[in-house]
Amino acid sequence: MVKMNKRAYIRTLEAVVAILIIYIFTTSLLAKNNVNEASVPKDIELTQESILKEIQSSDYYRNCILSNNNNCINSLFQSSIKNIYGYNFSICTVSNCAVPSTPEKEVYAKSLIVTANLTNYNTTSVNLYIWRKI
């Protein structure tokens, strides 16, 4: 009877150790997958969102985008983006979209699609690329 109890304890201990090994293995795999996710710095994200919300809410800037007026949009970006950031943008239509040149740094992109105003129905998007100059 004593031998049977020792075997039961050993089998139970083996099962617990196996469960711990499986748990450690799965948590280490899940932790490695989360490390590779890139995130946008908060200051750049807030800058991009505020500029694109300004475009979205203003009829003037929406008309500039729908008429493909780069100077109008560039003046908004110049006045809204701090000097510590570099930026570039593109206004794209369904048939024409060129990605502008950017430096070989971490560049953060955000887009806004403008579909129409009161007189014009034309799907156009504005893509904003921002990076740190430093």
Q: Do 49 and 33 have their domain in common?
A: no
Residues 64 and 128 placed together within one structural domain of the fold: yes
- Our count of domains for the chain comes to 2
Are 76 and 21 contained in the same domain? no
Question: Are 70 and 16 within one domain?
Answer: no
Residues 9 and 65 both lie in one domain:
no
What is the C-alpha separation between 75 and 65, in angstroms, rounded?
13
User: 127 and 64: one domain?
Assistant: yes
Expressed as residue numbers, the domain containing 58 is: 42-132
84 plus 123 within the same structural domain: yes
pTM above 0.75, yes or no: no
Gap between the Cα atoms of 57 and 40, Å rounded: 24
**Segment 44-55, tens digit of pLDDT:** 999 999 999 999
Q: What are phi and psi of 82, to 5 degrees?
A: -65, 160
The verdict on 74 and 9 lying in the same domain is no
77 versus 119: which is more confidently predicted?
77
Domain check: are 22 and 78 in the same one? no
Residues 83 and 128 in one domain: yes
Same domain, yes or no, for 15 and 75? no
Q: State whether 55 and 72 are in the same domain.
A: yes
Of these ranges, 14-23, 100-109, 125-134, the one predicted with the greatest mean pLDDT is: 14-23
